[in-house]
């Protein structure tokens, strides 16, 4: 077990079951382009959403242990399902490492709604977790929170499908129960889903606001970097942004480039890609 304080020149570790965490990673690098990052995708074992909580918790612990072995100074669990299953036990196991997690943005949506109805689109794992019921109990405040399991959506994105007629017709079916309800906010409770923004707006119309917590999570990460005095020392080389997957590297590399192309166009840094065979 790592007990020494993390080194400031180490990377910010970002973990997800697959590509979804890139919706958080892209916000982190916009805010802190000077920081080294190490992104780990457990694609060989994705999707996490339908798996038992204990299994997701165990895989998340292995992922964090690996990130720390690689020198990560702070870890972002850029996955709602993994955060719901493991955040508390991770923080108990590594109390000296700042660990940032995700939770569906129920609070801002219920505060902003005018119709009194909000939707939450997330995985089964995230919606069925006690953490989610506690969140709704705490923040619903009379607002009706309608949940929809995003069955099949993570798999589509992992295959490179996030827009077009097939994606929209799948969304249409999933979101049909919400169409009769006047929701004015849809909380994206899975980090993969911001990549569906265009398709979701086509299906739901422009009046439903999509609530993506990733920018707030990136700001929280930056606050933690400052609060723990973990900013990269200026004299050290940040090195390439590292991307590691437990799945095949070639499609991973291609999809990462496609998904974060706008960010890569504005900040130019080398990217490196690797396969991790045992996690
Ligand atoms: N990005 C993960 C999340 O936020 C997807 C979970 C999955 O692999 O099903 O929940």
**pTM exceeding the 0.75 threshold for the entire prediction:** yes
Residues ≥6 apart with Cβ < 8 Å to 150: 49, 121, 122, 123, 174, 190, 193
CA 99, CA 85: separation in Å to the nearest integer?
14
Mutating to test ligand 1, I would choose from 42, 191, 255 the residue with most ligand atoms within 8 A of its C-beta, which is 191
237 C-alpha vs ligand 1 centroid, how far in Å?
Answer: 32
Most confident of 1-10, 77-86, 269-278: 77-86
* One domain, residues 122 and 191: yes
Ligand 1: which residues within 6 Å by Cβ? 16-18, 20, 46-49, 79-81, 123, 126, 154, 190-192
Rounded to 5 degrees, what angle do the CA atoms 221, 30, 94 make? 20
Binning pLDDT at 50, 70 and 90, where does residue 275 land?
Answer: very high
Instruction: Identify the pLDDT of residue 3.
Output: 57
Q: Give the model confidence (pLDDT) of 15-40 as tens digits.
A: 999 999 999 999 999 999 999 999 99
Within 10 angstroms of residue 277's Cβ, the number of other Cβ atoms is: 6
Report the candidate in 149, 148, 150, 146 with the shortest Cα–Cα distance to residue 110: 146
| Distance from Cα 16 to the centre of ligand 1, integer Å | 7
Task: Please indicate, yes or no, whether residues 117 and 239 belong to a single structural domain of this protein.
Answer: no
Nearest-angstrom CA–CA distance, 56 and 45: 9
The parent domain of residue 39 ranges over 12-102+215-275
Tokens read off for 218:
């990136």
Number of the ligand 1 atom closest to the C-alpha atom of 51: 9
Residue 174 has what pLDDT? 97
pLDDT at 230 over 80: yes
- What CATH number does the domain containing 35 carry? 3.40.50.1860
pLDDT over threshold 90, residue 212: yes
Domain match, 111 and 207 both: yes
């Amino acid at each position: 077990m790592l007990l020494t304080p993390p080194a400031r020149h180490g990377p910010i570790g970002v973990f997800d079951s697959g590509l979804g965490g890139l919706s958080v990673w892209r916000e982190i690098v916009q805010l802190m382009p000077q920081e080294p990052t190490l992104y780990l995708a457990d694609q060989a074992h994705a999707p996490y959403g339908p798996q038992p909580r204990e299994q997701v918790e165990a895989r998340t612990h292995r992922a964090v242990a690996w990130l720390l072995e690689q020198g990560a100074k702070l870890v972002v669990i850029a996955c709602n399902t993994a955060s719901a299953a493991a955040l508390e036990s991770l923080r108990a196991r590594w109390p000296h490492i700042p660990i940032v997690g995700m939770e569906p943005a129920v609070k801002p949506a219920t505060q902003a709604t005018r119709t009194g109805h909000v939707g939450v689109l997330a995985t089964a794992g995230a919606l069925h977790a006690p953490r989610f019921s506690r969140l709704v109990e705490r923040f619903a405040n009379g607002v009706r929170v309608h949940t929809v399991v995003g069955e099949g959506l993570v798999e589509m994105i992992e295959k490179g499908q996030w827009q077009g007629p097939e994606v929209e017709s799948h969304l249409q079916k999933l979101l049909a129960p919400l169409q009769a309800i006047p929701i004015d906010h849809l909380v994206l409770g899975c980090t993969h889903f911001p990549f569906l923004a265009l398709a979701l707006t086509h299906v739901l119309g422009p009046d439903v606001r999509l609530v993506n917590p990733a920018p707030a999570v990136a700001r929280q990460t930056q606050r933690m970097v400052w609060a723990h005095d973990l900013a990269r020392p200026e004299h050290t080389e940040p090195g390439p942004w590292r991307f590691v997957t437990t799945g095949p590297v070639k499609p991973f590399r291609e999809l990462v480039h496609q998904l974060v192309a706008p960010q890569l166009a504005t900040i130019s840094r080398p990217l490196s890609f690797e396969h991790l065979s045992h996690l």
